[in-house]
Amino acid sequence: MTDRLRPLTVPALAAMKARGEKIAVLTAYDASFARELDEAGVDAVLVGDSLGMVMQGEATTLPVTLEHMIYHSRCVARGLRRALLIADLPFMSYPTPIAAAEGAARLIREGGARMVKLEGGRQREAIVRFLVDQNIPVCGHLGLLPQSIHKLGGYAAQATDEASARTLLEDALILQGAGASLLVLECVPALLGEEVSRALTIPVIGIGAGAGCDGQVLVLQDMLGLGSENKPRFVKNFLAGASGISTAIHAYVDAVRSGEFPAAEHGY
């Protein structure tokens, strides 16, 4: 089997970081886009609970249920051969370690996920540790946490002062210490993204966290220019100027790998 067809594993992502190779991640919610992403060489595909906004037209990710996540994960899994499938544990599906493990087990068994993502820092330590003890790979998510949107009050850059930046770095180290294999860092200053990536041995995947992260993720529909004009500054439309969707996705992968994306204008 060529490398292009061999499933990319969790240790392989860590090896990419160790070799200094950037990791290209995109979201997907259905089989046909998943196939496009896989063929373009995207390393990991995230079935994000952003599907609430992107697929269902909701204002936030909060209405998304575990059943929705399983359904879309299963669709995406059918389109993938190489890329690692990561699925979000949705809002309030992981109040306890047992609840998290039951939800994660369904995402893996029924949804075909190979890693689950959850939002939050030190308050999730016991949950991450419990999942990892059950041999479930975990991706953490720090910075802007869409599942906490009512507490945060809006989709603004996070950890912009020294004290909250220190707290975020501590949280990242705690998640890594609990056994997380990957970390998504959303909407934080580029300097902090670089500092967290250097401090951690696990790969840090940025979205609005600067070029110093070990990889990048965008919502697929955002990078194809779909949706409102009020896109966050970290979004780049890769379809503009491309001959089609497949070319745009290839351009994204190339731009992440070469470090050309994100540029300074996409950061905070």
* Catalytic residue chosen out of the listed positions 36, 119, 125, 186: 186
The single residue listed with the structure tokens 């359904």 is: 71
Q: Which is nearer to ligand KIV, 8 or 207 (CB)?
A: 207
* Closest separation in Å from C-beta 88 to ligand KIV: 5
* Closest separation in Å from C-beta 212 to ligand KIV: 17
Q: Write 98-105 long-range contacts (CB < 8 A, 24+).
A: 98/130, 100/127, 100/130, 100/131, 101/130, 101/131, 101/134, 101/136, 103/66, 104/131, 104/134, 104/136, 105/134, 105/136
Q: Which is nearer to ligand KIV, 90 or 112 (CB)?
A: 90
- First CA to last CA across the chain, in angstroms? 42
* Closest separation in Å from C-beta 125 to ligand KIV: 20
Q: Are 267 and 208 in contact (CB under 8 A)?
A: yes
Q: Which is nearer to ligand KIV, 8 or 116 (CB)?
A: 116
Closest alpha carbon to 89 in 34, 150, 42, 46: 46
- Where does this chain bind ligand KIV (CB under 6 A)? 27, 46, 48-50, 88, 184, 186, 207, 217, 219
* Closest separation in Å from C-beta 251 to ligand KIV: 20
Chain residue whose CB lies nearest ligand KIV: 48
| Chain Cα centroid distance, residue 150 | 21
186 a catalytic residue: yes
Distance in angstroms (rounded) separating the CA atoms of residues 26 and 90: 18
Neighbours of 54 (CB within 10 A): 19
* Closest separation in Å from C-beta 45 to ligand KIV: 11
| 20 Ramachandran zone, left/alpha/beta (phi>0; psi -120 to 50) | left
Instruction: Give the catalytic positions in this structure.
Output: 186
